């Protein structure tokens, strides 16, 4: 039986040992070799004293070693925690301390950043993947791993944690979303069956590990014994390189944020390349602009397109297969219907179900839902809705914080957020977190951070400040200050200084007015 994610790998390695499991930057690894290397890492971790439920950090750029790392950690019974390679050291130090990580799996090129973590007071026991270092902890090279390729016995069950993904938190620090083997495996099962993924498929891994889109690629892929081609970070930034990789690797299924597809659809990017292998394109993370989808659909007439919806807390919970051809007057795509084995409710502010056409908060009940937020009883208290049952034990739903409605075709429509979370280029950002960091600058008296929609429908983060005692504060100095605690994608594109903010009648900063004002002043540039 397959109960846990390591079971998934053991099963794939037994059935398809010679099949390519992962490839990245020209390096390929079969399911058989992946299982052996994961077991060697697991045995090494156990030798180092890592136990069931312990958190182990994965601090790697994309490489086949990322696959070895996550499976090795889980095979030892431990929990993998991806550390975003682009995040500043202080933010990573927060994550490492928050969930008590003392072992990292990393690589030589990150040694100086790990040294920064130690300087910030992080106490590490060991780092695996460094061939030589000046760190204050034990280091082991990949070649120094245990030679034992047998899978170690553990008391792991499907109810145990498998990974924690940290995401932006509204109070100014990131929060850790905990998933269990059961929730992750359920998602792998749903995706492998819904999208008919099989051993002959070659699927993309576009999202980095700290981004939940990656779990479909790794675990849905392994469930189907498919091959996974990891898209290197540098290819994600250049449309021509991304397009040629998709064609060259003969990918059959693509799962990305809309940005990647917008790049693919950009003029010239797909010219003289052969995309005949592509059968399914899945996109998620934020709404897909119709204009670009239309272009892509015209270029790939044999492909099926799916809008996948679901916050990191629930995994995917609904999806919509785009009708071909796309109707003329479509403005936005529905998020569709729940996957099988998923129940959704839409409720008003008093938790009463709303009528068709009315907007309310989307609640989700499914085996794919997270266990909760790591070490945050305050958040966990508000994260779930308990539907009373006669038995006295309630049905538990996750409160997504997303607004949705049922339309007259019995499809779900998405209407944004209840709070101030935004998606920018696929990244999930709490504007309140960005604002909390900005206002902590000693020269800033008040700050407002808001999203402004750009011409192509993307959201750009903008900020306005009122300066305190200082005469003048340079926007670049403020950005520099913010970059010490926020990842690059969460930094505002512009910061303007104002003498006063528009206010609501209750005296609060009117962020909507600031955003509208900012839009208005951008207008002339478009001419």
Binding residues (CB under 8 A) for another protein: these are: 61, 85-86, 232-241, 244, 259, 263, 266-269, 271, 425, 476, 479-484, 487-489, 491
Return the closest-CA partner of residue 439 out of 476, 464, 469. 464
Query: Which DSSP category does 110 fall into?
Result: G
At 400 the three-state DSSP class reads: strand
Would you give the end-to-end CA distance of the chain in angstroms? 62
Q: Which is nearer to another protein, 185 or 465 (CB)?
A: 465
Q: How far apart are CA 188 and CA 182, in angstroms?
A: 10
Least Å distance between CB 267 and another protein?
7
Q: For the chain, what's the residue count?
A: 527
Q: How far apart are CA 98 and CA 163, in angstroms?
A: 14
Q: Residue 342 — φ and ψ, nearest 5°?
A: -125, 135
Q: Which is nearer to another protein, 273 or 396 (CB)?
A: 273
SS (H, E, C) 497-510: ECCCCCECCCCCEC
Least Å distance between CB 484 and another protein?
6
Assigned token pair, 79: 């929990």
Assigned token pair, 507: 């005296």
Least Å distance between CB 285 and another protein?
15
Place of tokens 């398809």: 16
Angle at 55 between CA 51 and CA 56, to 5 degrees: 95
Least Å distance between CB 237 and another protein?
5
Q: Residue 489 — φ and ψ, nearest 5°?
A: -70, -15
Least Å distance between CB 483 and another protein?
3
Rg, C-alpha atoms of the chain: 23
Assigned token pair, 272: 């003289």
Least Å distance between CB 482 and another protein?
8
Within 13 Å, how many C-alpha atoms sit on residue 118's CB side? 18
Q: How does strand 161-167 pair with strand 175-180? A: antiparallel
At 182 the three-state DSSP class reads: helix
Least Å distance between CB 214 and another protein?
17
Q: Residue 186 — φ and ψ, nearest 5°?
A: -60, -40
SS (H, E, C) 283-320: ECCCCCCHHHHHHHHHHCCCCEEEEEECCCCCCCCEEE
Q: How far apart are CA 46 and CA 73, in angstroms?
A: 9
Least Å distance between CB 241 and another protein?
4
Q: Which is nearer to another protein, 3 or 489 (CB)?
A: 489
Least Å distance between CB 198 and another protein?
31
- Supply the DSSP string of 340-371, one letter for each residue: TT-EEEEE-TTSPBPPTT--EEEEEESTTS--
Q: How far apart are CA 32 and CA 37, in angstroms?
A: 9
Least Å distance between CB 274 and another protein?
15
C-beta neighbour count of 114 within 10 angstroms: 25
Q: Which is nearer to another protein, 13 or 260 (CB)?
A: 260
Q: Which is nearer to another protein, 17 or 232 (CB)?
A: 232
Q: Which is nearer to another protein, 139 or 485 (CB)?
A: 485
Angle at 381 between CA 378 and CA 384, to 5 degrees: 140
Assigned token pair, 9: 């790998």
Q: How does strand 55-58 pair with strand 79-82? A: parallel
Q: How does strand 372-373 pair with strand 175-180? A: antiparallel
Least Å distance between CB 239 and another protein?
7
Q: How far apart are CA 484 and CA 471, in angstroms?
A: 23
Q: Which is nearer to another protein, 64 or 412 (CB)?
A: 64
Q: Which is nearer to another protein, 77 or 208 (CB)?
A: 208
């Amino acid at each position: 039986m397959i109960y846990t994610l390591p079971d998934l790998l053991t099963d794939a390695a037994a059935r398809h040992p010679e099949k390519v499991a992962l490839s990245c930057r020209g390096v390929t690894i079969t399911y058989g070799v992946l299982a052996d290397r994961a077991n060697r890492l697991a045995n090494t971790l156990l030798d180092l004293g890592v136990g069931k439920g312990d958190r182990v950090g994965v601090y790697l750029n994309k490489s086949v070693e990322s696959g070895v790392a996550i499976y090795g950690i889980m095979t030892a019974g431990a929990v993998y925690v991806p550390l975003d390679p682009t995040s500043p050291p202080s933010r990573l130090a927060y994550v490492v301390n928050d969930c008590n990580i003392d072992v990292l799996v990393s690589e030589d090129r990150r040694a100086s950043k790990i040294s920064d973590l130690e300087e910030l007071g992080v106490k590490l026991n060991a780092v695996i993947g460094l061939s030589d270092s000046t760190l204050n902890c034990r280091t082991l090279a990949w070649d120094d791993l245990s030679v034992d390729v047998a899978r170690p016995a553990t008391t792991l069950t499907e109810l145990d944690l498998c990974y924690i993904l940290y995401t932006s938190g509204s109070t100014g620090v990131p929060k850790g979303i905990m998933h269990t083997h059961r929730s992750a495996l359920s998602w792998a099962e749903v995706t492998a069956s819904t999208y008919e993924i099989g051993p002959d498929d070659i699927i993309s891994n576009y999202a980095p590990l700290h981004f939940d889109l990656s779990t479909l690629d790794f675990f849905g892929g392994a469930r189907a014994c498919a091959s996974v081609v990891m898209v290197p970070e540098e290819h994600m930034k250049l449309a021509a390189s991304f397009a040629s990789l998709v064609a060259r690797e003969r990918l059959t299924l693509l799962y990305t944020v809309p940005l990647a597809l917008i790049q693919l659809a950009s003029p010239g990017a797909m010219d003289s390349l052969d995309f005949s292998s592509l059968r399914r394109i899945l996109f998620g993370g934020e709404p897909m602009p119709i204009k670009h989808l239309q272009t892509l659909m015209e270029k790939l007439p044999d492909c099926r397109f799916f809008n996948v919806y679901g916050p990191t807390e629930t995994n995917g919970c609904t999806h919509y297969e785009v009708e071909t051809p796309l109707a003329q007057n479509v403005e936005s795509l529905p998020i569709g219907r729940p996957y099988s084995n998923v129940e959704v409710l839409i409720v008003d502010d008093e938790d009463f179900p709303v009528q068709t056409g009315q907007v309310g908060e989307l609640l989700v009940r499914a085996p794919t839902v997270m266990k909760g937020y790591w070490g945050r009883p305050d958040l966990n208290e508000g994260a779930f809705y308990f539907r009373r049952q006669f038995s006295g034990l309630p049905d538990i739903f996750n409160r997504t914080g997303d607004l949705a409605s049922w339309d007259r075709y019995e499809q779900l429509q998405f209407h944004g957020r209840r709070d101030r979370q935004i998606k920018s280029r696929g990244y999930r950002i709490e504007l309140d977190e960005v604002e909390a960091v900005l206002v902590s600058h000693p020269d800033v008296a008040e700050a407002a951070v808001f999203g402004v929609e750009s011409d192509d429908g993307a959201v750009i983060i903008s900020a306005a400040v009122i300066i305190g005692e200082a005469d003048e504060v340079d926007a670049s100095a403020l950005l520099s200050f913010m970059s010490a605690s926020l990842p690059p994608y969460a930094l505002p594109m512009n910061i303007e200084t104002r003498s006063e903010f528009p206010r609501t009648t209750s005296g609060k900063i009117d962020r909507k007015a600031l955003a509208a004002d900012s839009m208005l002043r951008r207008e002339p540039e478009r001419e």
